[in-house]
Amino acid sequence: MQEVEKHESEINAWHAKRMDDLVAPGGWVNLVGLFWLEPGTHSFGSGEDNDIVFPKGTVPDRAGLFLVHNGQVIITAAKGVEILVDGKPVTTALIFHPDSVRNPVLALDSVRWNVIQRGNKLGIRLRDLNSPALKDFKGVERYPVDIAWRLQARFEKYDAQKTIPITNIIGQTLEQHSPGAVVFGWNGHQFRLDALEEPDGFLIVFADETAGQQTYGGGRFIIIAKPDAAGKTIIDFNKAYNPPCVFSAFATCPLPPKQNRLPFEIKAGELDYHGGGRHQAVSAQH
């Protein structure tokens, strides 16, 4: 009983932190736009005559220009508009370079944005710290915590060059490095899930027979710890969580590869979310 109570306390603490992270400045609930960039110069602002139209009331009618050239993105602020990069006002700044890991977040009043790269596509991801979705967010429902879904697993390492095709919600299929597979047993059968590398563990993008019913049709995520020296780890489906696309129409989530679609129900972890997010109309520039 003590082990069950300890496990439930751990999962509840994990869930509480996840809810806080979702509504944090870098969370997913405050996304309000995604604008793909083509080479050339593009005006942006809340005025309808801009090439890139931010939501009304978030920025001035004409806020500035984006210049996209040779995979780089340079921003120029309109006269009288104070755009902050790393907390300092700029007139012109390089905000994306393909050979740099630096990816600054720009700020203008309550709005934040940065450049994202998906394959050969560059885009502006826009957040509003005063988004109505933040005020409407009431949390995510989940299945009751059940220690039976905390499973012993082993990690089977792949060749260092192994990649798997991952299709995302915007229709791209990209080869991504897979360090190996997580193998576990359920009801007398053995199953395996291909993993993706994360800084603090392995990410598994999966779906099960609850997908499209109680849980999100596009699958769920789970992060597991890297294995010990014997290759052993734990996969705890109580920590299965919704991808960003559940909360916003402006995310670019990976979808489960076919080998990660499990033929049984996993009644653990987060249920589908039916707040604002992806259920709102998508911008024509998305």
In tens, the pLDDT along 205-256 reads 999 999 999 999 999 999 999 999 999 999 999 999 999 999 999 999 999 9
In a domain, 147, yes or no: yes
In a domain, 285, yes or no: no
In a domain, 286, yes or no: no
- Identity of the residue numbered 181: A
Instruction: Round to whole Å and give the CA distance between 261 and 255.
Output: 10
Predicted confidence (pLDDT) per residue in 152-206, tens digit: 999 999 999 999 999 999 999 999 999 999 999 999 999 999 999 998 899 999 9
Q: At a CB cut-off of 8 Å and minimum separation 6, what does 93 contact?
A: 74, 75, 85, 104
Structure tokens at 44: 């942006």
Whether residue 186 sits in one domain with residue 94: no
What is this structure's pTM? 0.90
Is the model more confident about 213 or about 277? 213
Q: Final residue of a domain: which of 71, 106, 130?
A: 130
Q: Final residue of a domain: which of 130, 157, 172?
A: 130
Q: At a CB cut-off of 8 Å and minimum separation 6, what does 148 contact?
A: none
- 203: which strand partners? 196, 223
Whether residue 236 sits in one domain with residue 192: yes
Q: Which domain does 242 fall in, by range?
A: 2-22+139-279
Whether residue 262 sits in one domain with residue 179: yes
Q: Final residue of a domain: which of 80, 104, 130?
A: 130
Whether residue 94 sits in one domain with residue 36: yes
In a domain, 52, yes or no: yes
Whether residue 239 sits in one domain with residue 159: yes
Output the domain CATH number for residue 90: 2.60.200.20
